[in-house]
Amino acid sequence: MDIALIGRIVPVFVQAAWTTVELSLLSLALGLAVAALVAMLRLSHVAALRFAGAAYVSVFRGTPALIQIFLLYFGGPQVGIQLDPFAAGAIALGLNIAAYMAESIRGGVLSVDRGQMEAARSLGFGEGQSMRWIVLPQAAKLMIRPLGVNAVALVKGTALVATISVVELTYTAQRFIGSTYKPFEIFAVTAVLYMIMVYGLTLLVDRLDRAYAGEA
Amino acid sequence: MNDTRPMIEVRGARKFFGPLEVLKGIDFSVARGQIVAVIGPSGSGKSTLLRSINHLETLDGGEVWLDGVQVNQKLDRRSFERHINGVRQQMGMVFQHFNLFPHLSVAENITIAPIKLKGMAKAEARALALKMLDKVGLADKIDAFPARLSGGQKQRVAIARALAMQPKVMLFDEATSALDPELVDEVNLVMKQLASEHMTMVIVTHEMRFAAEVADRVIFMADGAVVEEGSPAELFRNPKQERTRSFLKKFLNG
Amino acid sequence: MQGLDFSIVPEYWPLIGKGLWWTVVISTASAVLSVLAGIGFALLVLYAPPVVRYPVRLFMWLFMGTPLLLQLFLIYFGLVQIGIDIPAIWSGIVALSLHFAVYNADIFRAGIASLDKGQTEAARSLGFGAWRTRIYIVVPQAVRGTVPAVGNMMIALLKESSIVSMIGIAELVHSAQLVISETYRPFEFYLTAAALYYGLNLILEAVLRGIERKVELSR
Ligand SMILES: Nc1ncnc2c1ncn2[C@@H]1O[C@H](COP(=O)(O)OP(=O)(O)O)[C@@H](O)[C@H]1O
Ligand SMILES: [Mg+2]
């Protein structure tokens, strides 16, 4: 182990890790918003909307995230979408994780006992009101863990944008491995930074899940 | 039947679960071809005793012997592992919840041990399985999977599985108490048939009538100790201990 | 803006088809290896002596906490560094196999832990030793119980195999890139590649459903 090298590169890698964090947060926000929409489509009474939701999930889960990123970044200009690597990466990752998160949301809603909706309707709540006041609050607790799993996958998935030269952690690692020929040292530094994010987030999800789902 | 050495001998068996003393020094022996029924209230240590004979529980004190060989002898780990696997092949154990292997067909459940442990040829093992299934009246289920069998059928297959190893003794731990009442008789019938063939058996049961019918000797346990033992006639008709009397009264009235 | 023209796609089918073939080969090999290694890791984590158990746990923890692409770079550049010079395709297969083996191991470990204790006892009472009990009774059942979860991993593996294009392995994405460097038509060819992955994915899902049904009968 070349400790001196590690000491020298840490600041650069911390900088890169910050880019990974920004990327993750942006994709997460976009992903959640799109996921909520897709989940609504999936749960709609209108067959065409249900189909549209199912198609979104099927297409985005049925193809590699890497190709989705390439399509948007390299193929986008052909259809008039010109984005810098960071924006293309964040959007593609967000749209991709949205397909998985939509299923987590839908799963949560469907796990709430049907009787809850019926009881709410019998009290005179409308369909939307029942969903908003009775079903969703219960479903939300059930979604914490699966959505947390999605978010952790997203953080690891951000590495893919290294392929379109976004200067995040994995890209930086690749570059430094190429220039120093010290793969193990570089991996150690990069792994520690990823693991702080990944296991930190895992811990947070555990806490949230225990705090909210535990009482359900 | 001229060998008078006991088939099973338990001396001073003691067992703790944490601070709880579950077996408080148990002595008993089972002669060749003898059938012993063990009865007693729930939690009295019957299962623990039976499982200790098979070394599924490790005794904290005392000895278990099978046909002149000490089951729980002190050996280094590897030697003991070899020793105990050999000893267990000579004992058939039947569990309350059957414990059939769900990923294996009935035939495979019965043949896996003869094939893997005794090196028996597949064809021979299958013939053996058929013979054992015939004994328990389930020859037609040879290629079924356990999930498709009733509880009574499962337990009969479990008995066939144990018998296929040609054991010297059979140990039954409440073999019928997980069964619906109408399925109990088919299993009891198989056990009675084994009795008529002079199989050495230890039967833990809560069915007093069955114990009286099939056993040569009945042991009544309470609180981890043997309270009283004797022939079924003595123990059921004329119990000497107050503890036995109150247990039997509760059972016969309830 | 260039406009889209899919009519040129068929012309490049031989190259794309070859890439598709290699995607199937690499995914299948990695899937099989990841399941076998996953079972191995699970057994080591559960039953091996501490000197083996803890390093394996550390390794799993490390590989679960980092991205596949990073692991691929480590293996691709690292193996040479420690004197193992193997073709890139093997680096790709090793990376995919190890990455998914770790997740499979976690699934198998949970599957084994959830098995009824009576199963082990029944096997032991017949005279099976500890390891034979694991091999003949515990593992086959745990594997059956975890088919759906491991199947999901294999679906992920198929898609993530696209990452090995980054070390120059001529699978589907890399083939598409070659064609694009000639034609300057990224949209058409990435979309074609995506459609082919989608098709492979449908086939894989059907296969997994078939396996699940078959396994369901023997549970
Ligand atoms: N694995 C165990 N851990 C702790 N306590 C146990 C365990 N197995 C049995 N016991 C306790 O030992 C006592 C005797 O149990 P058992 O032998 O199963 O009785 P019986 O079969 O007569 O109903 C009970 O109090 C039971 O709760
Ligand atoms: Mg019991």
Instruction: Indicate the residue type of B156.
Output: R
For the beta carbon of residue B105, count every other beta carbon within 10 angstroms.
Answer: 18
The environment of the single-atom ion ligand 2, i.e. residues with CB closer than 5 A, is B 47
End-to-end CA distance of chain B: 40
Place of tokens 């990452």: C163
Is A127:A121 a contact under the CB 8 Å cutoff?
A: yes
Tally of residues, chain A: 216
DSSP bridge pairs for B104: none
- Tell me, what DSSP letter sits at residue C185? -
A170 interfaces chain C, CB cutoff of 8 Å: yes
Contacts of C213 (CB under 8 A, 6+ apart): none
Question: Whose C-alpha lies nearest to ligand 1, atom 12?
Answer: B22
Q: Indicate the SS3 state at residue B62.
A: strand
Ligand 1 atom with minimal separation from the B173 CA: 21
If phi over 0 gives left and psi between -120 and 50 gives alpha, with beta otherwise, what is residue C167? Answer: alpha
pLDDT of C45: 96
Burial annotation B133-144 (CB, 10 A radius, 16+ → b, else e): bebbebeebbee
B27 touches B226 (CB < 8 A): yes
Q: Are A62 and C202 in contact (CB under 8 A)?
A: yes
**What does pLDDT average to over chain C?**
93
B190-213 as b/e, with b when 16 or more CB fall inside 10 Å? bbeebbeeebbbbbbbebbebbbe
Alpha-carbon span A71 to C187, nearest angstrom: 6
The structural domains of chain C, with segments of one domain joined by +, span 6-218
Q: What is the pLDDT of residues C50-78, one digit of tens each?
A: 999 999 999 999 999 999 999 999 999 88
pLDDT at A134: 83
With contacts defined as CB-CB under 8 Å, which chain A residues touch C159? Answer: 63-65
| Confidence label for B253 from pLDDT (cuts 50, 70 and 90) | low
Cα–Cα nearest to B61, from B11, B117, B131: B11
Give residue-wise pLDDT tens across range B206-237: 999 999 999 999 999 999 999 999 999 999 99
Pairing assessment for the beta strands B91-94 and B169-173 based on DSSP bridges: parallel
Calpha distance B41→B20 (Å, rounded)? 17
Phi, psi dihedrals of residue C56, rounded to the nearest 5°: -65, -40
Estimate to the nearest angstrom the gap between the alpha carbon of C110 and the chain centroid.
19
CA dist C201 and B175 (Å) reads 48
Q: How does pLDDT run across A137-194, given as a tens digit for each residue?
A: 889 999 999 999 999 999 999 999 999 999 999 999 999 988 888 888 999 999 999 9
Count of B-C CB contacts under 8 Å: 71
Q: In the prediction, which pLDDT does B159 show? A: 97
Per-residue pLDDT at B226: 96
Type of residue found at B98: F
pLDDT value at C42 more than 60: yes
Please determine, for residue C183, whether its predicted confidence score (pLDDT) is greater than 50.
yes
CB atoms under 10 Å from CB of A167, counted, come to 16
Residue B11 confidence (pLDDT): 96
- What are the tens digits of pLDDT across the range A72-97? 999 999 999 999 999 999 999 999 99
Q: Give domain A3-212's CATH number out of 3.40.190.10, 1.10.3720.10, 3.10.20.80, 3.30.450.40.
A: 1.10.3720.10
Residue A216 — pLDDT band, cuts 50, 70, 90? very low
Q: What is the mean pLDDT of residues B87-98?
A: 94
Q: Quick check: B44 and B221 in contact, CB under 8 A?
A: yes
Scored b (16 or more CB within 10 A) or e, A84-105 reads ebbebbbbbbbbbbbbbbbbbb
Place of tokens 């923890």: C61
Per domain, the residue ranges of chain A are 3-212
As a whole number, the mean pLDDT across chain B is 94
In this predicted complex, what is the ipTM?
A: 0.92
Residue A135 pLDDT > 90:
no
Query: Which residue's alpha carbon is at the smallest distance from atom 13 of ligand 1?
Result: B43
User: Looking at residue C2, what is its pLDDT?
Assistant: 61
Tokens of C30: 């990695």
Considering only the beta carbons, identify the residue of C116, C122, C128 that sits closest to B85: C128
Contacts of A59 in chain C (CB under 8 A): 198
Beta strand B169-173 with B200-204 is: parallel
> How many secondary structure helices (H) and strands (E) does chain C include?
10, 0
The rounded mean pLDDT for chain A is 92
More confident residue, A176 or A115: A176
User: In the numeric block, which tokens belong to residue B122?
Assistant: 């597949």
User: Residues near ligand 1 with C-beta < 6 Å?
Assistant: B 17, 22, 40, 42-48
**C-alpha distances in angstroms, A13 versus A150, A177, A191?**
25, 12, 11
Handedness of CA B101, B104, B106, B110 (dihedral sign): negative
User: Which chain B residues are within 8 Å of C136, Cβ to Cβ?
Assistant: 112, 116
The reported pLDDT for the residue numbered C43 is 95
Cα–Cα separations (whole angstroms), residue C111 to A202, B159, C36, C51, C108? 21, 28, 15, 24, 5
Superfamily of domain C6-218: MetI-like (1.10.3720.10)
